[in-house]
Amino acid sequence: MIETGVTAPQFTLPDQDGHPVSLSDFAGKTVVLYFYPKADTPGCTVQACGVRDHLPNYAEAGAVVIGVSPDPVRAVKKFADKQSLDFTLLADEDHAVCEQYGVWAEKSMYGRKYWGALRATFVIGPDGVVAHVIPRVTPRTHDDEVLAVLEQLAAA
């Protein structure tokens, strides 16, 4: 997993509408880049709806939120529409960006091993440098944790 202090890897991925979005599109802005395992699953829904409900807080903190999952565009679109998610979700179907950020890992559930995206969040400063990493995110507390980090970074 990439660490604090490194330049965030650049990427371009399709959003929920199939339009290409690049990290460089947000140059000069603080970006909260969060990775989630799978659209429309219970934990990912709690996390995404939390972001949706806290968007005014993120805007007040001067941050843009982007969610990334290894789902195809159609699954990300369905998820965004179903949950009224009005922020950018990106489809990393070949998991190349997950691999760049070090969140593509072997996981285990009910004794079955498989590869998937870890739930992790990266706060990227306006200079494109990773300012903070939350390597293991809990969906219910994600927003409180990230907003506290943004407040600390603003105070520094």
Round to whole Å and give the CA distance between 144 and 54. 9
- Find, among 23, 2, 19, the residue nearest to 104 by Cα: 2
Identify the active-site residue in 44, 48, 90, 134: 44
Identify whether the C-beta of residue 149 lies closer than 8 Å to the C-beta of residue 22. Answer: no
Q: Please confirm, yes or no, whether 44 is among the known catalytic residues.
A: yes
> Which amino acid is it at 87?
F
Structure tokens at 45: 């829904």
- Catalytic residue annotation: 44
